[in-house]
Amino acid sequence: MTKDITTQETVRNKDNITELQRTHELIYEQAAILSRSEDIPTAIQGMLAAIGSFVNAERAYIFEDKGTHYANTFEWCAPDISPEKNNLQEVDLHTVSAWTDVLIHGDCIIISEVESIKESHPAIYDILKPQNISNVVEAPIMVDNHLLGFLGVDNSPVKTSQRVAETLQILGTFIAITLKNQEGRLESLEQANTALSESNAALRVAYESANQANAAKTNFLSKMSHDIRTPMNGIMGMTTIAIAHIDDKERVLDCLGKISSSSRHLLALINDVLDMSQIESGKTTLAKEEFNLSNLIETSLDMIRPQIAERNHHLNIRSMDITHSHVIGDSLRIRQVFLNILGNAVKYTPDGGILSISISEKTSGKKGYGCYEFIFEDNGIGMSEEFLSRIFQPFEREKDEHATNVQGTGLGMAITKNIIEMMHGDIKVESNPGEGTRFIITIFLELQDLNNVPTPIGEGSFARPKDQLADLAKADYSSKRVLIVDDNELNLEIASEILGMSGIQIETAENGKLAVDMVADHPDGYYDIIFMDIRMPIMNGYEAASAIRALDRSYTRHLPIIGLSANAFAEDVAMSRNAGMNAHISKPLDIDQLAKTLENWI
């Protein structure tokens, strides 16, 4: 397997080098044509054709800055693609001012998915969408720090967007010189040589970046392979042992407990990777919800107290001057930060250690916001000064003999820092090997419009952990009927078994089309609720939910439809609601959330 991976990496590196060579050849060839051509418009048109074909785009074009607007002066279209030059001859500078702000600094614009700017830049979206443009790359045409316009391509492969941008940026320099020459301001050969030198430097940077990216991917895959295989080995091994001792109840229960623990660890690894992916892509947003900070801290502590007790740690909590407990923010992300840091303290502190948490409210200079400081301390193994310099980098873990057997992705602190920065907060860390670690976190939270009533830590109501399956079994939904829609037989079995504990009558469908037919064929009120998977053959969950709502019956317009999917991002939840679903539950199933959903909707 290692040999296969090495071979694949070698092939990819060779492909990268070949692609860089082809890019280099394209740049030199087009620069040479422009420099000696007497028919500049024809040469530029030929360059656009070469660029468009090279990057596999549908269109390549140039918009020149005319003072009050950008004019579409050149355009090339791939075969079977209709020109847009006559439909969009010019664009008002004010309309695309957001682009100008980027281009004027010499930077490129990469929009991998036009739908992503619908809310943030509606005017630009309204220009691009009617042209059936799904993605764009725009590079500045600049000379002497003066923006002359931009060179762009539409609908090229998203995975090559960065390479396309680098190529356009270099060629934009030559076009700028050529356009300046057209205006009677001939540039010297030295400038052309400088542009060539810059292009060589850019290509070298791109080559080095590609190698670094490949090395990072190899390192990531190596770490993730180990970390994922560890809990998978526990799951598969304990399953095998349980089967071999099926008549030994105690042994089977022990195996099931270890399978459950390994499953939770595997899910945590997956969630960390997905969280980091969301944060780096810029798609993560913070929720704004009302909550009680004191209660949030208590419930978070309840989640980690079993781990603290297992290691015989002593936990000290100190609250000082909390005068505004009722706040507005993203409670889930704050809990995630809290548990990441405290979880590390538990893992990296030897048994019987001391953990301390101090929470205080500081004077806030932001009107309507409270400033909160959290200090986490432990007397654990500590960290070296060298590691502290890279603790917040993804996939980094301390190379210490005491930490060798501690599992994790090395993403927790990177995620923590990103979340805190999104909240306009700050995180500092102090540590010495063998002496423990101290984290100091400051965040700002919007205050609720309530009377300032102090709520000390440990007081007030909060949700205590419950035996969720036992509570579900106590419910009586025997008079209700549910339709579970999922193409995966195992998922259907799990959902049916869990929901069946409430006594509810269960029917199933293996795809969205069958679910729509079943609802259409039965009388009003037959089903009380539907749990709908998203990714299914024939008809997916979004389409099925929309089709059920479109049956034009009062019953189907109000029938609760709950998304039940491994699609777990915020945009997935939004898409479920846009398709007509009432709520969204992510897999693996959260039993408490499932129980609350039944209580809320039937």
Q: Is residue 208 part of a domain?
A: no
142 and 7 both lie in a single domain: yes
pLDDT in tens, 383-406: 888 877 777 776 555 555 444 444
325 and 432 both lie in a single domain: yes
Question: What residue type is assigned to position 218 of the chain?
Answer: T
Q: Is residue 368 part of a domain?
A: yes
The domain of 481 spans 468-601
Beta bridge partners of 149: 64, 141
The pLDDT value recorded for residue 273 is 62
8 and 141 both lie in a single domain: yes
Cβ(180)–Cβ(188) under 8 Å? no
The CATH number of the domain where 244 resides is what? 1.10.287.130
Average pLDDT, the chain: 79
36 and 158 both lie in a single domain: yes
Percent of the chain with pLDDT over 90: 25
CA distance 595 to 591: 6
Q: Of 601, 27, 47, which is closest to residue 593 (Cα–Cα)? A: 601
For the chain, the domain total comes to 4
Tell me if the pTM is above 0.75.
no
289-301 CB burial, b ≥16 within 10 A, e <16: eebbbbbbbbbbb
Q: Is residue 78 part of a domain?
A: yes
Q: Of 96, 213, 110, 209, which is closest to residue 157 (Cα–Cα)? A: 110
Q: Is residue 195 part of a domain?
A: no
Beta strands 354-362 and 289-292: pairing type? Answer: unpaired
298 and 150 both lie in a single domain: no
The CATH number of the domain where 555 resides is what? 3.40.50.2300
Q: Rounded mean pLDDT of 476-503?
A: 89
- Phi then psi dihedrals of residue 102, to 5 deg: -85, -50
425 and 520 both lie in a single domain: no
56 and 99 both lie in a single domain: yes
pLDDT at residue 77 above 80? yes
Q: What string of DSSP letters covers 120-144?
A: T-HHHHHHHGGGT---EEEEEEEET
Q: Is residue 454 part of a domain?
A: no
Cβ(25)–Cβ(33) under 8 Å? no
Please compute, for residue 112, the number of CA atoms within 13 A of its CA located in the half-sphere on the CB side: 8
Q: What string of DSSP letters covers 55-90?
A: TT-SEEEEEEE-SSEEEEEEEEE-TT----TTT-SE
165 and 243 both lie in a single domain: no
Domain boundary pick from 187, 207, 241: 187
Please compute, for residue 576, the number of CA atoms within 13 A of its CA located in the half-sphere on the CB side: 25
Q: Is residue 179 part of a domain?
A: yes
**Choice between 132 and 527, residue whose per-residue pLDDT is larger:** 527
Q: Is residue 460 part of a domain?
A: no
Find where tokens 């419950």 sit: 466
pLDDT in tens, 103-159: 988 889 999 899 999 999 999 999 998 888 999 999 998 877 888 899 999 988 867
Cβ(494)–Cβ(520) under 8 Å? no
Cα–Cα separations (whole angstroms), residue 89 to 41, 45, 86, 114: 17, 16, 5, 21
The CATH number of the domain where 119 resides is what? 3.30.450.40
DSSP run (H or E) holding 535: none
135 and 255 both lie in a single domain: no
Q: Give residue 288's Cα distance to chain centre.
A: 18
Beta bridge partners of 561: 530
Find where tokens 């997905």 sit: 274
The pLDDT value recorded for residue 2 is 44
For 473-526, the three-class secondary structure string (H helix, E strand, C coil) is: HHCCCCCCEEEEECCCHHHHHHHHHHHHCCCCEEEEECCHHHHHHHHHHCCCCC
pLDDT at residue 527 above 50? yes
The pLDDT value recorded for residue 356 is 93
Long-range contact pairs involving 495-503 (C-beta distance under 8 Å, separation at least 24): 495/531, 495/564, 495/589, 498/469, 498/472, 498/589, 498/591, 498/594, 499/531, 499/594, 499/598, 501/469, 501/472, 501/473, 502/472, 502/473, 502/475, 502/476, 502/477, 502/598, 503/475, 503/476, 503/477, 503/478
- Phi then psi dihedrals of residue 482, to 5 deg: -120, 145
pLDDT at residue 524 above 80? yes
pLDDT in tens, 407-439: 444 566 777 888 888 888 899 999 989 889 999
**Choice between 533 and 389, residue whose per-residue pLDDT is larger:** 533
DSSP 248: -
Count CB-CB contacts under 10 A for residue 437. Answer: 23
pLDDT at residue 320 above 70? yes
The CATH number of the domain where 308 resides is what? 3.30.565.10
269 and 307 both lie in a single domain: no
The pLDDT value recorded for residue 580 is 92
Rg of the Cα trace of the chain? Answer: 30
The pLDDT value recorded for residue 397 is 52
276 and 309 both lie in a single domain: no
Domain boundary pick from 135, 168, 187: 187
pLDDT in tens, 170-226: 888 778 777 666 655 444 445 656 666 776 676 677 667 666 655 655 555 555 554
pLDDT at residue 589 above 70? yes
Q: Is residue 536 part of a domain?
A: yes
Question: What residue type is assigned to position 15 of the chain?
Answer: D
Q: What string of DSSP letters covers 146-183?
A: EEEEEEEEES--GGGHHHHHHHHHHHHHHHHHHHHHHT
The pLDDT value recorded for residue 198 is 72
136 and 59 both lie in a single domain: yes
Q: What string of DSSP letters covers 383-422?
A: --HHHHTTTTSTT-----TTTTT----S-HHHHHHHHHHH
Find where tokens 């998304």 sit: 563
